[in-house]
Amino acid sequence: MPGLADDANAITYAWFDPQRLHPAVESLVYWRCAARSGAALGTGLVLLVALASCSVVSVLAYAALLALSAAVAFRIYKNILQAVQKTNDGHPFNARKHWPPPPPHTSMQHCTSCADLVDSLKFGVG
């Protein structure tokens, strides 16, 4: 049969080809580092559950609010740490403040940059 000889030399294309994976993706898929793979799986699962119960806009809005809350909490933590240790390190986001070069000043940028803690909290609350 002509088909059997050709099948032995034929290249098979599967929907999942491990040889074509990026090494970082391969380490996640094969669970080489359980903590990173678990974090990726948990994040994906939370995202799928959130998208199943809420709209995409709501999920994005809650994610942005979570990021703003984390930045404000980090800034408060660093301020308390500076007060306790009596150091003068300055603003915790000072190194990132001017990278990339900021666009013209807008009120949205001012509220989300944590430059003024009270304005950031007012923006997050509503």
Query: What span, in angstroms and rounded, lies between the C-alpha atoms of 44 and 33?
Result: 17
Quote the pTM value.
0.52
- CB-CB contact of 112 with 120 (8 Å): yes
Query: What span, in angstroms and rounded, lies between the C-alpha atoms of 55 and 91?
Result: 36
What integer pLDDT is reported at residue 16 of this predicted model? 72
- The three-class DSSP label of residue 92 is coil
What integer pLDDT is reported at residue 82 of this predicted model? 83
What integer pLDDT is reported at residue 46 of this predicted model? 92
What integer pLDDT is reported at residue 21 of this predicted model? 83
What integer pLDDT is reported at residue 93 of this predicted model? 65
Residue spans of the chain under pLDDT 70: 1-14, 90-117, 124, 126
Which has the closest alpha carbon to 64: 99, 116, 111, 96?
111
Question: Which residue ranges make up each domain of the chain?
Answer: 1-53, 55-126
